[in-house]
Structure 1
């Protein structure tokens, strides 16, 4: 066979099979003989082509199979070649991190970045300010620690910290320090922890040791900044971790003061579970052209999520919740499988009380991939009092339940959430404030016990389920007073409103808003059980009373629904389909139940044509009341005619004078039951509610205080001096004043933070009070000493009775921050001044930072005798015994060699020297006097 020319170099998408086809040809000159001999045993073709026997029917199939297998093997080899530039998409190796950091990431157990890490780290590496929306457990700590270590690289000998991480609590700061230590093992970076409760003197030494990274709480860091007069001009990297909790806990003034001292060239990162309006304003003021990073799964409803809305009365909500858990979700009672498995292992002795690996064994007993189970359910309540009440009620019913709310202790909250994540409990009862930072990877059901007042809160709640291709359900209890919020949600989602069984069985729970009632028999049985528990258990009844009082405050402080939805809700609630049986309960026995429900609805909605006076008069049959009966009939006829004329006038006014909007079109379609998916008004409403820019709002909608009727328009035109026909404005109509005056925070690209934050902004009500998110308390109290009202905020933050001074930014801070303790510390250390920012560091001042790099931290073991016993005190005998014991040990001020004092025993040389000195003095004193 003649020789074949060498094939050209293969591209990434091509492969050459000529070596396999002509591997037995001695004339082939594709490769050198040595290389060919070297590769001969490795490249064994899985199939041999038979050229001698001719081609059969299976030749084409064999060729296709051979080529496919050769291509697959080539792809496998390409992934293992060394020096190849092709890397796995989305991995840490593709982010340009150094080798030491990659080793630390691998050692910690990170193989693939989480979604928030994959979106955030590349943006941070480009030196952009970032606002990231991430919950606890989503990997947000590593999302800002990994770029920080990559940017700082190694310890700087110049004085000045370069990284600052502010956390809302001591526990979260400790957790962040642990992550920094683990990911920074391959570097010599120094990190310090500054939290309240620790010694100020030790923290003075830490800051004097020139740390690279400072992890602190805002209050203590501001105290040190003011006390030590710190220069923050060297900081390049600032992180506000869980910023929503920072504002909720009242750190707004401290953050403003700290932000004022930071340089303008810094890179600022802000991570938060939610984005309230106060946080958006803070981001606009403190960040430069920020980029909003949030996950689509958290901001949108999954198409695999199915929703069911149930109309209930206020007194039947507890029974409705029990009916959903028992009959709809079919929640099992008693301990879960994970709890039983852990109990069996503890009983068998695998996790002994004195075992060092007890915690690890508890975690290994549970497979995190299998838990939470298919019954895992989150129940959202309005206030912390509702959470306590529902937790007690569900425990009484036998369900494995956990709970969490905002004011719950951090350790207790961690334990409760851990039990739910590991499958020890199936139900988690939470408030919106507590649930905003909880990340649950696998969730089956969401129950809205209290219907949310904003559509964004509903999306935030149900966005936790139906992830990663899984199906999920959300169940919402809707009272008559919650109907306006339900209609707002229906307009926000742009979906069809289905009441009861008005559309028969043609309903889609994933694409429609389906509303209906419960079966009366099952609901009545659940309500009877709840009433029995309340009668038998005094504690649960008391909790319900407290929850009802908290609900009154919650209803007064929640946001109001739109006016159009409030008007439309009256007609929706008054319809018969509002309380009709929900299509979810379609089974064999539902037909009889539906007929029974219709009969009861007709009986309940029956209204006689005659008034009560006419009915009573007809029953008595007395002839003397005939004149009164005639008068009442005449009055009723007059009222009916007036009501009919008013309805006709109203319908004419709506048809002629009021322009039709998308919301009105949706309302009419919902009333007529003829809503169409192809309706352009409905689709436009959904698009406008999802994304809208300021220019679109200004062009599309008028001002909010624009008059709505003709009379108001006349009054407005009479008082205004601007005649639209002759008035000439001093600015063009197409000029945007906000952009012209540089009010915007965007750079003209599509990545507009103002627009993105407008869609993501969401304010949550507090779960134990009427104070809104980030709002200061306005309650006052009478100060008897100064004879005036003062704010109660001073009582809560510990500054009661202290003087406040103005900081550099103008915010009021406690005067105790300038106490002079740093000057006393410098005097005790005999330091005239510390090195300024930019100067070379002093090695001796960094001894206190050895504990970060793994060195031993030495502590003194000083023992001191107690004070002298006071005979007038009640513990005189006890103190006297302590003093006697100290004297025996010869410690403290009683002296002795054991206390470090000079020994009184003299040696031979000391005695000889003392004799000579004594002899000289004697001879000197024995001389005769010069006086005669």
Structure 2
């Protein structure tokens, strides 16, 4: 029996990493046989104890990369040392998903984990920490609040993991992460996993990690090879009818489909329309109650349920693993290529195929060009010869299919009455506010989008009618592309028509301007071509050093070199965003003046978005301890651990710490300013005294005593 058990464990491809038997049992029980490419690269380096910055696309198996080595090194449950590993996740759903994954892998090790997330009473978080966990899985906002309430330092943390780190920093958790990292011991191993590497995250990796190793698997492809992309050019008023047509008729009834909508009001609006059409759907968004969120996700993920449509906002764009997802629909086109990659990355995972359908209005064409440039793919427009097997085509919409659902929406509106109108108006207003928050596409993409000729754009192959009568389709296309050469004022003109003469003069004037513009453009292109040929003829070879800092002897490490080439920001540079944020002013009611946002250094943002003081403490923890009742032995051990850290904090408060160079420079600047102020004040006081006393007055003695 023992030999069979050993051979069963050895059959797994994970046995080569040297994991303990308990960890290997959990891997085999989970059904994993062979590690993914990112796991083969990351796990040996993490097992050696090195800090790691890992970049790979969504769905590549990054979670197991840090969970398996942590389980192996922690070995078994320790009732006295407190938490030994901390995993930070950007969203509650991802934290719960990681916790569930941990329980499945740690089934045979005896290790415990606790989740500390918002959306529920903070008393549950206190109770979770008192259960003596070996691993804490948390969101930064709630964990920061809990650590403040308990006055707790996690000095025994040996593994510090930032999961979906780019999302953590995009959501504004930078201050919380820095506060949490100060509460963790210096002797720790930091693991940072991300799909992209924005500039703000690059700066953090230089400060918070010790000689890290950069692992990249995102160079060759950013999307799965099994993912099919469809882009559909629509007008804004056609989006809702087209969405209903896709969900009710085009997509297979058994397919799991996620629809990304701009705001929660739009989620509620579309959900109401689907309910009116007797189509079951579920939804999640940020302000939804945590219990309702969990219930709706399980309702959609469960194969036994009938619900196959999930309506979401961007809260689920990353980190939510729904392995049975078949389709993704982008109702509004993402304003960032990174966001597009993570939205459509929900499908075509673990070898499965999937389809991503994105609606593109004329205002969103620049974002579409951004995405194609980011993915390194050509911009291809649908024509008569385009087939449904082609990938990444931008095509038009079939007006016949959309027209039917216009009528159905009107029927639902007549039945619902005022409630429907109120819901629709609220959704439209929220869409206007959402559009204001979207950054503009880059200038080059906007320029290319304007040059796209969509007049002859054919219906997307995905939406074409399955009919043998092609004459009807050709006739409809000819009507769609028809453009009259005359205006209404130029039809059947008479001698007394002033409008006809005005139009003729306008055409003549505009024609001259168009000819001048075309001639200038042709001359410029000819000059550029001649200049390029002259460079080649003269033997001109452009050269820019790719490693100037290394040549100057200023390069610090190989990691610095690699991370500079890895960092990117496609739409707007992060430094520009930070500069804009620093320039913003808000009205301070107490000080009766406008203050810069950057002046508010002593405030942090909680998970709910509220700003609180960095030393915020309500006494909830002490109140919870009094009402807790009889404590278990594990609780008493943890209470001793908390008391020791609180005593250490009080002891350290009075201790004079060594100042760094910036602090010393700041003190010197303050002293210099004070001396200059005192000197100027002395001179002013002296001049006033001399003016008052005159030439024969008494000599000024400064701060000396007045003569009686």
TM-score (norm 1): 0.54
CA deviation profile, 1:66-100 (whole Å, cap 9, x unmatched): xxxxxxxxxxxxxx899999943623x32212234
Q: Retained in 1: the 8 A contact 2:329–2:356?
A: yes
Q: Retained in 1: the 8 A contact 2:230–2:356?
A: yes
Q: For 1:484 and 1:590, how far apart are their aligned partners in 2?
A: 36
1:222-301 alignment to 2 at 5 Å?
A: 234-241=156-163, 243=165, 246-247=168-169, 251-271=173-193, 277-291=199-213, 300-301=222-223
The reply on whether 1:401 has 2:288 as its aligned counterpart is no
Partner of 1:90: 13
* Aligned partner of 2:233 among 281, 303, 311: 311
CA shift, 1:595, in A, is: 2.6
Q: For 2:506 and 2:345, how far apart are their aligned partners in 1?
A: 56
Q: Retained in 1: the 8 A contact 2:27–2:105?
A: yes
The reply on whether 1:515 has 2:394 as its aligned counterpart is yes
1:390-539 alignment to 2 at 5 Å?
A: 390-423=270-303, 424=305, 425-467=307-349, 469-501=351-383, 504-507=384-387, 509-511=389-391, 513-537=392-416, 538-539=418-419
Q: For 1:411 and 1:457, how far apart are their aligned partners in 2?
A: 27
Partner of 1:814: 615
Q: Retained in 2: the 8 A contact 1:276–1:763?
A: no
1:3-152 alignment to 2 at 5 Å?
A: 87-88=10-11, 90-91=13-14, 93-103=15-25, 109=30, 112=33, 115=36, 120-131=42-53, 143-152=65-74
CA shift, 1:466, in A, is: 3.6
SS for the counterpart of 2:245 is helix
Q: For 2:546 and 2:560, how far apart are their aligned partners in 1?
A: 22
TM-score (norm 2): 0.69
Instruction: Evaluate the alpha carbon distance shift between residue 292 and residue 317 of structure 1 in structure 2; reply closer, same or farther with a 3 A threshold.
Output: farther
Partner of 2:661: none
CA shift, 1:320, in A, is: 1.6
SS for the counterpart of 1:577 is coil
Instruction: Evaluate the alpha carbon distance shift between residue 650 and residue 471 of structure 1 in structure 2; reply closer, same or farther with a 3 A threshold.
Output: same
* Aligned partner of 1:597 among 465, 473, 476: 476
Instruction: Evaluate the alpha carbon distance shift between residue 268 and residue 775 of structure 1 in structure 2; reply closer, same or farther with a 3 A threshold.
Output: farther
CA shift, 1:258, in A, is: 2.6
RMSD over equivalenced CA pairs, Å: 5.2
CA deviation profile, 1:256-296 (whole Å, cap 9, x unmatched): 12323544442012345776554444334312344566776
The reply on whether 1:381 has 2:261 as its aligned counterpart is yes
Q: For 1:734 and 1:281, how far apart are their aligned partners in 2?
A: 19
Instruction: Evaluate the alpha carbon distance shift between residue 814 and residue 217 of structure 1 in structure 2; reply closer, same or farther with a 3 A threshold.
Output: same
Partner of 2:660: none
SS for the counterpart of 2:161 is strand
Partner of 1:647: 518
1:838-857 alignment to 2 at 5 Å?
A: 848-849=636-637
Partner of 1:657: 528
Q: Retained in 2: the 8 A contact 1:535–1:541?
A: no
Instruction: Evaluate the alpha carbon distance shift between residue 155 and residue 498 of structure 1 in structure 2; reply closer, same or farther with a 3 A threshold.
Output: closer
Q: For 1:85 and 1:615, how far apart are their aligned partners in 2?
A: 86
SS for the counterpart of 2:480 is helix
1:883-902 alignment to 2 at 5 Å?
A: none
Partner of 1:370: none
Q: Retained in 2: the 8 A contact 1:141–1:176?
A: yes
Instruction: Evaluate the alpha carbon distance shift between residue 601 and residue 747 of structure 1 in structure 2; reply closer, same or farther with a 3 A threshold.
Output: closer
Instruction: Evaluate the alpha carbon distance shift between residue 499 and residue 221 of structure 1 in structure 2; reply closer, same or farther with a 3 A threshold.
Output: closer
Q: Where does structure 2 lack aligned partners over 5 or more consecutive residues?
A: 533-541, 627-631, 640-708
Partner of 2:508: 637
Q: For 1:469 and 1:189, how far apart are their aligned partners in 2?
A: 31
Q: Retained in 2: the 8 A contact 1:243–1:279?
A: yes
The reply on whether 1:556 has 2:427 as its aligned counterpart is no
| Structure of greater Rg | 1
Instruction: Evaluate the alpha carbon distance shift between residue 127 and residue 381 of structure 1 in structure 2; reply closer, same or farther with a 3 A threshold.
Output: same
Instruction: Evaluate the alpha carbon distance shift between residue 182 and residue 430 of structure 1 in structure 2; reply closer, same or farther with a 3 A threshold.
Output: closer
Partner of 2:649: none
Q: For 1:181 and 1:270, how far apart are their aligned partners in 2?
A: 21
Q: For 2:608 and 2:300, how far apart are their aligned partners in 1?
A: 39
Q: For 1:89 and 1:112, how far apart are their aligned partners in 2?
A: 5
SS for the counterpart of 1:655 is helix
Q: Retained in 1: the 8 A contact 2:140–2:607?
A: no
Partner of 1:583: 461
Instruction: Evaluate the alpha carbon distance shift between residue 173 and residue 553 of structure 1 in structure 2; reply closer, same or farther with a 3 A threshold.
Output: closer
